[in-house]
Structure 1
Amino acid sequence: MEYEVFKILIEEGACAERTLCLPDGLAFAHWSNGGGEIDYHKPAHHTLSVYVEGGWGSWRLERGKPVQNGYPGAVCLFADGADSSWRLREHFEFLHFYFHQADLARAAEQVWDAEPGAYEPVPDYFFRDPLLEQSVQLLLASDWTDPAQSLGADHLAQWMLLHVAKGYTRHRGPLPDVRGRLSPAQAARVRDFVEANLAEALSLERLAGTVQLSPYHFARLFRATFGEPPYRYVQRRRMERARQCLERGDEKIVSVALNCGFSDHSQFTRAFRRHFGVSPSAVRPDVAGSEAGV
């Protein structure tokens, strides 16, 4: 796990009871710790911490002096770039949720059509949040090795991002109310544009430009209209187009890959196998052909 706070805790002798790394880079860690002093120096990510058991002997320090101590259920929000120091005097358990500002911005953009800089967490220590406490208990009661339950953890992580954005950032004022769908004419225009340009790089900004919308607003309306985010829709259509071409058998695999927006054969093969569970050569009429299609 590449998160700095995680590495510091390991170096200081804390025990990572369980860890869960989610597909989009978000991560959970269930910790137990018993003593010592820890300094976090301007980590490049955010950390949401919820005390699970004990914590009365955990103190936050300012200028070397204890100013606050923990308790079961206490929540701390470590913002990226913020220093903090801690003195630990007894065993306790806690759960960490690790994420970057880009994750928080993306969640706000997708749900509320918010500008990326509108939601920056404010460091805060030892406060109560019953919803977060309940969420952590639910997470700890699940089997992190079960794929079905890890998918549920992924959904919970997305909710936690939005919960932080709503309640613990510098954003002020009512949340944007983004509703509705693309009109039938707009949806058709976007669909036709995607089909005509699968070989090219299709950024969110470029797709939004086809219907004169901001990228953030477009992403929300696109998902409401098509049932999936733009990037997933484009990837699915590339895979479906590629399979149709391969099943005809009149193009080499390398050519199909380039015509469906992939920069090289190996990248295409990995994506195709993830999507269909088989290699590109397996769906060609001449199954005996080489994997590279040459």
Structure 2
Amino acid sequence: MKTMGYGTFETLRRQNAVLKGTVELNSGIQLAAWYNNCDTVTVRSDHHTLSLYVADGYESYQKTPHGWKNGGGPDRFCLMPKGDESVWDIRGDLSFVHLYCTDAHLRRVGEEVGTAARRTSPCRKDLRQR
């Protein structure tokens, strides 16, 4: 399958971030493991990015309308929706993983979950027995 070319992935490759590993699923969804330190990163992409800090990140700051917010650390989760600008000041060690996906990926997953739920729902079986 052709690589999607996710903007946030490409932005990080041009920054100080070190790519530790990546895999693209058959669906086109991409996962990447990163390490970064002493970097300022600005992204605005045409896709969604789900980010999970896996180690460190205590000195990671996100720019907000009210100034810089520190909220980083292991097991912290962040969603960067498509079209939104996200600015980060990484002042210390940070290991994180990203999942990159599009609206189409999210719709497909939602449809698959909905279909599976309808097939296995006890309420659905009750309706068929009446």
TM-score bracket relative to the smaller structure: 0.7 to 0.9
Indicate yes or no: 2:67 matched with 1:52: no
Q: Give the secondary-structure state (helix, strand or coil) at the position aligned to 2:95.
A: strand
Q: What pairs with 1:11-22 in structure 2 (closer than 5 Å)?
A: 11-22=14-25
TM-score (norm 1): 0.38
- Choose 1 or 2 for highest CA Rg: 1
Q: Which runs of 4+ in 1 moved over 2 A?
A: none
1:122-158 deviations in whole A, cap 9, x for unaligned? xxxxxxxxxxxxxxxxxxxxxxxxxxxxxxxxxxxxx
**Amino acid aligned to 1:47:** T
Query: What SS does the corresponding residue of 2:119 show, helix, strand or coil?
Result: coil
Q: How many pairs align?
A: 117
User: How do residues 229-244 of structure 1 correspond to structure 2 at under 5 angstroms?
Assistant: none
Q: Which amino acid aligns with 1:93?
A: S
Match of 2:82 in 1: 80
1:178 counterpart letter in structure 2: R
Identity of aligned residues (%): 31
Deviation at 1:80, TM superposition (A): 0.9
Cα RMSD after superposing both structures: 1.8
Name the one with the larger strand percent: 2
Counterpart code for 2:118:
V
User: How much does 1:40 deviate?
Assistant: 1.2
Cα shift at 1:63: 4.4
AA aligned to 2:50 is: L
Aligned with 2:57: secondary structure?
A: coil
Looking at structure 2, the residues matched to 79 and 66 of structure 1 have their Cα atoms a distance apart, in angstroms, of: 19
Offset at residue 111 of structure 1 (A): 2.2
Match of 2:27 among 9, 24, 28: 24
Q: Structure 1 residue 64: deviation in Å?
A: 8.1
| Deviation of the 1:55 alpha carbon | 0.4
* Equivalent in the alignment of 1:277: none
- Using the alignment, how far apart are the partners of 2:65 and 2:30 within structure 1? 31
Q: Deviations over 1:212-251 (max 9, x none)?
A: xxxxxxxxxxxxxxxxxxxxxxxxxxxxxxxxxxxxxxxx
Look up the match of 2:41: 38
- The residue correspondences of 1:169-208 to structure 2 (distance < 5 A) are 177-179=117-119
Structure number with the higher helix fraction is 1
Alignment partner of 1:93 out of 92, 95, 102: 95
Answer yes or no: is the 8 Å Cα contact 1:61–1:68 preserved in 2: no
Partners of 2:107 and 2:74 in 1: how far apart? Answer: 30
Residues 107-118 of structure 1: pairs in structure 2 closer than 5 A: 107-113=109-115
Aligned-partner Cα distance in 1 for 2:66–2:85: 13
Name the residue aligned to 1:185. Answer: none
Rounded to whole Å, the distance in 1 between the matches of 2:50 and 2:103 is 12
Question: What are structure 1's unaligned runs of at least 5 residues?
Answer: 114-175, 181-294
Shift in Å at residue 72 of structure 1? Answer: 0.8
The residue type paired with residue 30 of structure 1 is A
CA contact 2:58–2:70 (8 Å) conserved in 1: no
Alpha carbons of structure 1 residues 85 and 64: separation in structure 2 relative to 1, 3 Å: farther
Deviation at 1:9, TM superposition (A): 0.7
